[in-house]
Chains A and B, each alone.
Chain A
């Protein structure tokens, strides 16, 4: 099979099914279950006005919220703002949290929305759906190389980081949010769908497109690396 046909094979499969391709990520459910149990207790204590519980809740979630915002916004100062705004909102609205959804989902939804609002304000240039589609049709992007043979440390250079950051930055919010939650935060399809308030099918479609777009963005760079190695 020609390399170009290999890509088109998968693109066509996606077009036919209007679904998506996804892969297994690390299962962090045990850790999350533990945090959920702790959260339930902490939320009760916060609602009861117990001061120590506020700090405990911050300690339990601050790293994850900060990194979630950092991955969406890519700026430490903005991630710090989102962290602060998230917890202020959480404590203002804690009485409205009825426990029907997980606290984890609730706080993640608040942090994601605040991050996306900031992203919108920044008005960074992002690609449209048409731009994404066009990437798959580039004739030169069809070259498939044996990426697995590349040592990962060769890619952890400043130049490569900049290249990758530019690619992720050009994803619009609907793709970036799904990619960050599912692939970088390792949340499940269901959790991602609950946080973003979209269907699981939509999560899958957006995730597939984001992954394939990023893959295409890295293809030229990787091809060069393979040739040099």
Chain B
């Protein structure tokens, strides 16, 4: 198992709520180690998140919006 896949499986076990030494976790390790399809599935979910992040990168607040806001909150007390 590559270090990359091991890390993913460890994270899976962690977030599935299992101890890394638990039978469920060991079974998962064993399965994913020999299953390119599962590895690809895990990769595809990761890539979905990455795509969502990249398709809409952060935008700066338009200057007019910021100026209007600063004008509104000036001395609010």
When distances are taken between beta carbons in the complex, the residues of chain A under 8 Å from B75 are 51
Tell me whether chain A's interface is mostly helix, strand or loop, or mixed. Answer: helix
B30 at the interface (CB under 8 A from A): no
> Which residue of A14, A58, A87, A160 contacts B55 across the interface (Cβ within 8 Å)?
A160
- Report the Cα distance A91→B40, complex, angstroms: 48
Per the CB 8 Å criterion, the residue count for chain A at the interface is 60
A127 at the interface (CB under 8 A from B): no
Q: List 28 A-B contacts (CB under 8 A).
A: A1-B35, A2-B37, A7-B41, A9-B31, A13-B28, A17-B18, A19-B17, A23-B49, A25-B49, A55-B70, A62-B66, A66-B61, A70-B56, A70-B59, A76-B62, A80-B62, A83-B65, A84-B72, A148-B43, A148-B47, A152-B51, A160-B55, A168-B52, A183-B49, A183-B53, A214-B49, A215-B45, A215-B48
A206 at the interface (CB under 8 A from B): no
A24 at the interface (CB under 8 A from B): yes
Tell me whether chain B's interface is mostly helix, strand or loop, or mixed. Answer: helix
Binary CB contact string for chain A from 157 to 175 against chain B (1 if under 8 A, 0 otherwise) = 0001100100010000000
Give, as a whole number of angstroms, the nearest-CB distance from A13 to chain B.
6
Question: Which residues of A approach B to under 8 Å, CB–CB?
Answer: 1-3, 5-7, 9-10, 13-14, 17, 19-25, 49, 51, 54-55, 58, 62-63, 66-67, 70-71, 76, 80, 83-84, 87-88, 91-92, 144-148, 152, 155-156, 160-161, 164, 168, 179, 183-184, 204, 211-212, 214-215, 218-219, 222
